[in-house]
Structure 1
Amino acid sequence: MSPLALPEALEGDGFNRRASIPFGLTPEHVRAAMQDFLDFLTAVDSQLHSRGMISLENTMMQANFSSLVGELIANQIPRYCPTLARNVYHNGHPDLLPAGKYLGDAAQHAGANGIEIKASRYAQGWQGHNAEDAWLMVFVFRSGRNGPKLLPGQGFKFLLVAGALLSKSDWQFSGRSSTSRRTITASVKPAGAARMTANWIYKCRELRERER
């Protein structure tokens, strides 16, 4: 069995205290939610390893693992930010709403009046199923899933958190063939992605050093 590779710790100097985030959310709230995910993954993978089982990342499909990262963070943020609530409407958009604004904290389409959370293994080309006005926050991570790009001993690591207010014009739908069964998705255009990365909330040391 492969050695246990635990998630890498957050870098305290990687948070941007000048980042502009709406609805009372702060980098400190975001950090706490990110730490909760790292604690969750550490606990699960440690238990799996003790039983001779492969890690969670190597068990799940990659897209499903990305969804897990985003869902857990979206659930945890309201624990630390009292001005935000989880949108409990089934498949409601966005994920987080101003606390108490909507009856039962449920809204099918709240548009820009909330924050949508995404997690991705990619530093660009972020996708979603809702090409709507929204304040989008993306959590970019390096997966600990075994593969040719993963060095021995490397585990999960948060690389970047970025966010900005996007409009419908910042999205571009991806085409598909008439025989494809792939779900239609939309991608953030370069201009929208540039606004998000300019307002970065967390950036690992490796990415910061590349920009010097």
Structure 2
Amino acid sequence: MLFTTVLPFLAVFAIPAFCAPASADQVVPSAKACPGKAYRTVIRNAPSSTSTSVAASASPVPSLQTSNLAATGGAPAGDATTLLNLHNSFRAQYGAKALTWSSELATYATNYAGGCKFAHSKGPYGENLAAGYGGGYSVTSAFNSWANEAAKYDWNAPGFSSATGHFTQVVWKATTEVGCGVVSCADGTIFSGTQGQKTSYVICEYRKPGNVVGNNNQYFTDNVGTKQS
């Protein structure tokens, strides 16, 4: 199937400051991927935000039972269960502990996603965005667009890259909580020319945030594990 990548936004939203990080540790918002139908992908980079201190490791609390997700806010219960399970199954492959579902993060994600603005919220959390339209697009499609960046990550040269920022956030060992929002957006808000089809917009928020730059990329060494056999 033919794939076309549209890249003009890269120059507009480039983050050159992170090519040479300042002395203070910095939290880099994950690059935004917006996979639409199979033949259309839009990739943009995020504006920067900073943090003075982010722990290199943490011990997550046990996962919520999926039966409790319906009352936790954010994505519908079915989507929430799917997203939590996808995150935790994938994280386990890289030696990262299971995340818990946060109703606070899920509500934040849903409220922001409701504006149908394809740009980072610049909030205090780690954040992954994805959007697509067409009958086959789902929260699994969104998650896979983030997880598939693993193929581009170089463990011999750990660090942040706009090509792998979603993946590194998903598997970041210090992250302990996730909450996601899933909304439908009208034609012309995120995509144009969708012939009236609504766009599914998926946002996941993470606490503690990943993609921490500093300390000679030791944070990436500590938090992005290799895939376990």
TM-score relative to the length of structure 1:
0.25
Task: State which structure, 1 or 2, has the greater radius of gyration over its C-alpha atoms.
Answer: 1
Ranked by relative contact order (alpha carbons within 8 Å, sequence separation 6 or more), the top structure is 2
TM-score relative to the length of structure 2:
0.24
